[in-house]
Amino acid sequence: MNVDLSNDFKTKYKKLMGDRADSLFAAIETKSRNSFRINPLKPNYKNVAVDLSEPIPYSNVGYFGDIDGKSIDHLAGYLYSQEPSAMYVAEVLDPVGKVLDLCAAPGSKSTYIATEMDNQGLLVTNEINNKRSRVLSSNIERMGIQNAIVTNNSPKDFENKFEGYFDRILVDAPCSGEGMFRKDPESVKYWSLDYVEQCANRQRHILDSAFKLLKPGGILVYSTCTFSPEENEENIDYFLNQYPEMQMAEIKKYAGMEDGIPSWGNDNQELKKALRMFPDRFDGEGHFICKMVKAGEVTKSHEKNISNGIGKDEVNLVEKFSKANLNTLSQNNWFKVSDFLYQAASLDNRFKSIHVLRNGLKLGEFKKNRFEPDIAWILAIEPNVLKSIFELNDDQFETYMHGESIILKTDSNIGNKWLGLSYQGKLFSWGRYSNNQIKNVYPKGLRR
């Protein structure tokens, strides 16, 4: 493996790390290890066709190994590929209550946070870049997450309405990416000393917003995938001095994890409580994690709910669908946006002030006097809710994934127009039964 580190990078870290810099450079030249998570939001979530013999010690759901992105385990949201160092962030956050992931795309940490929350509380997962926010939304959908609001805003957009609103905030800050050089050698080309300074300055603005949004008594976790002191210890030293209410908290450190480095942050000894992962001593990529608590009494947030926007005729359409196809139907937090029906994660009217891509679980769409269910619902639904589940064989699965209908040789007497489609025991799509065939309703963007 050849990672073309610049002279500026080598000079900088030789000055900072002395003789150890050579071992860091050598580690960047080695092959990184792959890892993945299983998803406890799914039924029988350990029933996956991958090797679970090497668990990651600091993760409840992480394993070393490779996964197939085209497998049913991945398509149905049972598996998520994630770099091992990054997995520890959600564990450190200990998410409860109202949680904000401020820089969330593509969703690796958000989806991990959601599994820790077990669809309880509220997860607001935000990305400023529009294209990346849609990738984030699709990953939230695939993993069957019901308590998330996906937003597409700058951190500053939240300040007006959400001051002191969140119990937990993660700032997984956009950074210079030094810790990912061996996993993504192309990123080396974009690195420069000036770029590091640009990132550090942007991170400070994000931290300023995060402070305002955090409740007294709340926890803020800051993380990056870079080595640079400017983006890590120096920024946290700045933040602690700027906001005396913020206090460093201890993080449990596992084998290979190291303390933050006070000499890299104006000799602030509190920085020892932060955590660093260097690939020469830790089995993962470079990472920095810092946990802070905001002093003060926890305050109760008063919410004013917005109207759900659903008419009686639309309720009747959903109930008609339910009577034909479901064993039970929850009407909690129904919310209509345009022609789409959601089971909202929150009806708090504050969310009218920002750009929301997805509020909770998308149930379906109203179309010409009928209701059609959405794939997001089948990826989150409990199997016992469905009246009919059709298990596809290998050939039928491939046929369906190519966008074709399933022709049944004999009358199946299914009797219901909509049914859950399953492969290898995992629900992954709706199917519409008519005239002895299951018509294909799998989204075109997901077909092979």
| Amino acid sitting at position 351 | F
Enter the tokens of residue 149. 């609001």
107 is in an annotated binding site: yes
Active site residue 225: yes
Written as one string, the DSSP assignment of 28-81 is: HTSPPPPEEEE-TTSTTTT--SS--SSB-TT-SSEEES---TTSHHHHTTSEEE
Please report which helix (H) or strand (E) contains residue 314, including its range: helix 312-325
From 175, 199, 225, 290, the catalytic residue: 225
127 is in an annotated binding site: yes
Residue that the structure tokens 């940490």 belong to: 109
Enter the tokens of residue 190. 């974009």
Beta strand ranges found along 225-349 (DSSP E): 246-248, 258-259, 275-277, 287-294, 334-337, 340-343
229 is in an annotated binding site: no
104 is in an annotated binding site: yes
Beta pairing partners, 389: 420
Enter the tokens of residue 46. 């350990």
> Is residue 21 helix, strand or coil?
helix
Compute the distance between CA of residue 353 and CA of residue 151 in angstroms, rounded to an integer: 11
Chain-centroid distance of CA 68 in Å reads: 19
330 is in an annotated binding site: no
249 is in an annotated binding site: no
Annotated binding-site residues for S-adenosyl-L-methionine read 103-109, 127, 172
Catalytic residue numbers, as ranges: 225
